[in-house]
């Protein structure tokens, strides 16, 4: 909870089902409350202008009437200061850069697991708590403000797990074109198969990786993993 105030969030997506799912995700994060979802740029602007409290918009880019970046530009032109997190399948560098230039605080690529959105919202909450303090900022405080959106967005590792090894496994999964087994991860990272399996299970438990099964001619199915935002 942010100083006792719930953040009002508009989930904007042209797919009604996806908008509903995203809104449900928002309501699961303490301190956030999803208001009425929107399915077009015009509806998003109407929500921002008429609802009593809209602090944050989860902004899709591909909309039926205009792009998400067009909506952000129009929001700012009309003087609306609601924050924006891009939640979209658009992953080309030009769109990502344009989103940054227009003030998007975070960028989440579809599809994603609940943990991915939760991490973005929790980082945003940390930023809001920092900014709500007001006053003047020394360099250390400025650094803390700019770092609030990136720090600790990954789940904290349990005791006995190495951040370096976790990053190796994550990079191997995100670079893969198809689901990988623990043995394949081990070969690509240089860790043992047992270590790879341990970190893959951790990533699955925290929603970062998705488990798939591949059935062969005989015996037990092979466990294979894919990064959750590519599942």
C-alpha dihedral sign at 50, 7, 37, 147: positive
Place of tokens 């918009």: 57
Per-residue pLDDT of the chain (231 residues; tens, 9 = 90+): 344 345 799 999 999 999 999 999 999 999 999 999 999 999 999 999 999 889 999 999 999 999 999 999 999 999 998 999 999 888 887 888 888 888 888 888 888 888 888 888 988 888 887 777 666 656 665 665 555 555 444 455 677 788 778 888 888 888 888 899 999 999 998 999 999 999 999 888 877 788 888 876 666 788 999 887 544
Is the pTM higher than 0.85?
Answer: no
Residues 6+ positions from 132 with CB-CB distance below 8 Å: 2, 3
Helix (H) or strand (E) holding 7: strand 7-12
Phi and psi dihedrals of 94, rounded to 5?
A: -60, -45
């Amino acid at each position: 909870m942010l100083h006792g105030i719930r953040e009002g969030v508009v989930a904007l997506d042209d797919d009604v089902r996806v908008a509903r799912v995203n809104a449900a995700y928002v309501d699961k994060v303490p301190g956030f409350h999803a208001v009425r979802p929107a399915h077009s740029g015009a509806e998003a602007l109407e929500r921002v202008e008429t609802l009593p409290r809209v602090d944050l918009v989860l902004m899709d880019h591909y909309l039926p009437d205009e792009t998400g970046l067009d909506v952000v530009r129009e929001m700012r032109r009309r003087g609306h200061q609601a924050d924006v997190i891009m939640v979209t399948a658009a992953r080309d560098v030009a769109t990502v850069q344009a989103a940054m230039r227009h003030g998007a605080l975070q960028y989440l690529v579809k599809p994603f697991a609940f943990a991915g959105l939760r991490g973005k919202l929790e980082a945003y909450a940390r930023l809001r708590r920092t900014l709500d303090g007001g006053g003047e900022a020394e360099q250390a405080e400025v650094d803390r403000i700019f770092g609030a959106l990136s720090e600790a967005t990954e789940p904290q590792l349990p005791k006995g797990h190495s951040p370096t090894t976790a990053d190796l496994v994550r990079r191997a999964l995100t670079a893969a074109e198809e689901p990988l087994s623990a043995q394949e991860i081990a070969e690509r990272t240089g860790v043992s198969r047992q270590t790879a399996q341990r970190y893959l299970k951790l990533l699955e438990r925290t929603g970062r990786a998705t488990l798939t099964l591949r059935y062969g001619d005989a015996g037990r199915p092979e466990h294979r993993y894919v990064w959750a935002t590519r599942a």
